[in-house]
Amino acid sequence: MQSVEAANPRVQTGPHGHNDLELLYFRSGSGPHMVMNRMLPVAPGDVVLLPPGVVHDLSMVDSATGWAVEFSPTVLEGMTGLGQSLQLWRSNPLLSPFLAAESSTEAGLFHVEEADRPRWENLLQGLEAEFRGLRAGSDLAVRAYLLLVLLEVARLAGDVEGELRHRQEPVLADAFGVIEKHFAQELSARDVAEAVGMSPGHLTTVVRERTGRTIGEWITERRMAEARLLLSHTDLPVESIARRVGFRDPAYFNRRFRQVHGVSPGTWRK
């Protein structure tokens, strides 16, 4: 765990990536933060998720302060039932927001509302104190604090439409609102475009330029997120889950799930 401030040598490193997962939280100040060749303005309450290998550069955020939390999924082993190796981090439902951020910078950006910042900052201060304290039980306390931080991230990630409106992206917010309402039904990019009053070509261009993904890919991502939830918290057969998340053909659902997660739905559930 590192502090984000101008005096920290790691902040001045320049463009670099990490072998593990990293979460950044900005408490105060501002400045430009480069992520995957995109210059992003920093504001108090901003959260950035960085999957392994994503290149970023903090050297220009002179006046910003906050925390950088770099961790391996193995630290969650025994607390979530998953995370036994870095190679399997994509299978951990608690880390699904990092999965979306892997191919889209926009998907890894979140903002904590002012009323919620004291809770976030208390958690991060507690995590830092245990990390640096090296007292009896600190290892367990660090993992517990990290788990609570990741749960806060998961809650932020659940409000995609609200997050986009906060970032003044009304077109994306409208499109994701349609996806959220209708993902479990038959839904195509053309359907989404008609619902937001745009041509399919124009909406496709806007969404790809702003997120790095197509509308179709985001529909699939939302369906997969719901599938992960149902696999984790219900005993429904995989075939029933496939239908509940918008796949008429369970075999096709199995193939798509394996493509995204590297394992079958049944294996992922185990």
Do 47 and 110 meet the contact criterion of CB atoms below 8 Å apart?
yes
pLDDT above 60 (res 114): yes
Measured CA to CA in angstroms, residue 54 lies from 20, 103, 167, 231 at distances of 10, 9, 22, 29
Whole-structure pTM value:
0.59
Across the chain, what does the average pLDDT equal?
82
Whether 182 contacts 223, CB under 8 Å: no
Which 3 state secondary structure label does DSSP give 199? coil
Sheet arrangement for strand 56-57? 38-42, 31-35, 56-57
| Residue 78 CB contacts under 8 Å (≥ 6 apart), including other chains | none
Between 78 and 154, residue with greater pLDDT? 154
Task: Please tell me the number of Cα atoms within 13 Å of 230 on its side-chain side.
Answer: 19
Give the model's pLDDT for residue 213: 73
Question: 30: helix, coil or strand?
Answer: coil
Residue 35: the pLDDT is: 87
pLDDT band at 85 (very low <50, low <70, confident <90, very high): very low
Which pLDDT does position 166 carry in this prediction? 56
Whether residue 89 is predicted with pLDDT greater than 90 in this model: the reply is: no
Q: How many angstroms separate the CA atoms of 19 and 172, rounded? A: 31
- pLDDT surpasses 80 at 92: no
Please check the confidence at residue 133 and state whether its pLDDT lies above 60: yes
**96: pLDDT confidence band, cut at 50, 70 and 90?**
confident
Looking at the predicted structure, is the pLDDT value of residue 70 above 50? yes
Q: Say what the pLDDT of residue 103 is.
A: 64
Measured in degrees and rounded to the nearest 5, phi and psi for residue 239 equal: -60, -40
List Cβ neighbours of 189 (8 Å cut-off, separation of 6 or more): 200, 203, 204, 214, 215, 216, 219
Question: Can you give the pLDDT at residue 252?
Answer: 94
Coil vs helix vs strand at 3: strand
The winner for highest mean pLDDT among 8-17, 51-60, 155-164, 210-219 is 51-60
| Structure token pair of residue 234 | 């219900």
Q: State yes or no: pLDDT of 79 exceeds 60.
A: no
Q: Tell me, what amino acid is at 164? A: L
pLDDT-based confidence at 97, cuts 50/70/90?
A: confident
